[in-house]
Amino acid sequence: MSSLMNGSRNSKKNKKDDPLRTSIHVARSHIINENTKFVISEAYKLARTNIMFSMASSPNKVITVTSSNPSEAKTTTTVNLAITFAMTGAKVLLIDGDMRKPFVNKLFKLDKNTGLSMVLSGMCTVAEAIRSNIRDNLDIITAGPIPPNPVELLGSDNMKQLIEILGAHYDYIFVDMPPVNVVSDALLLAPLSAGYILVIRDNYTKYSDVQQALSQISMANGKMLGFIKTICRSDSRGGYYGKYGRYGRYGKYGKYGNAYKYGDYYGESDSKDA
């Protein structure tokens, strides 16, 4: 009994001390608002412009955001992109498609009992799941209660019909999905999306992880819209990237789409992100 209790305490301590994890309060502080630094806001606006150009010829305005691994600031990045697109006056919807470890509801303090899993299971209507005007021109559908079969729900005809219905009412739809190298959920949206944004974390994401993610997206016939590099310093160099440099400065991934450098979002900050 004693050893089990000690093990439990050590597990909690390790989880708390994990430098890649952050509190929900810190994560919320990274969401764009009127007090956000100019350089951060401009970085996201540049990302917005580049994404718009990347998908200009596509009638489909669904953007799937994923990453190679957990802890790469994917959800925060997706939220900020959605907010930035909504600033243009476009009608934007953010869907939390991570029905395994949902996070969007926590960021905005939203009820998690009605969301995507409920809609796809036929347990609530689309209208009941939409949280309207969370920010100006921004609506949100949370992930809902965690289901036992997220892959089946995402790959169902209900998901296809849902995207078709929502596409008729919104100018842009952002879907935050789990890391593509961990589970296959994000790949199921390839036929429903205009393309993918891959979030990579400075000095953390390995080149081989990105290669694996791109390979999987390519095999699913998904289109790459670009990359977003997060949690980096303006003087960032090397790390796991080494000789490969910053993804926005070379064209190795040309066949996958445009490899943009969207900016150093947190400047000189050492803050971690969710």
pLDDT in tens, 76-135: 999 999 999 999 999 999 999 999 999 999 999 999 899 999 999 999 999 999 999 999
Q: Which domains does the chain carry? A: 44-256 (3.40.50.300)
**Which helix (H) or strand (E) element contains residue 197?**
strand 195-201
More confident residue, 57 or 191: 191
In the predicted structure, residue 18 carries a pLDDT above the cut 70: no
Segment 141-189, tens digit of pLDDT: 999 999 999 999 999 999 999 999 999 999 999 999 999 999 999 999 9
pLDDT category at 56 given cuts 50, 70, 90 is confident
Give the CA distances from residue 232 to residues 44, 180, 210, 270, in Å, rounded to whole numbers and listed in that order.
Answer: 14, 22, 17, 8
In the DSSP assignment, the letter for residue 264 is: -
- Predicted pLDDT of residue 110: 95
pLDDT category at 34 given cuts 50, 70, 90 is confident
In the predicted structure, residue 5 carries a pLDDT above the cut 70: no
Q: State the pTM of this model.
A: 0.80
Task: Copy the structure tokens of residue 211.
Answer: 């290669």
Give the CA distances from residue 110 to residues 117, 187, 205, in Å, rounded to whole numbers and listed in that order.
Answer: 15, 27, 30
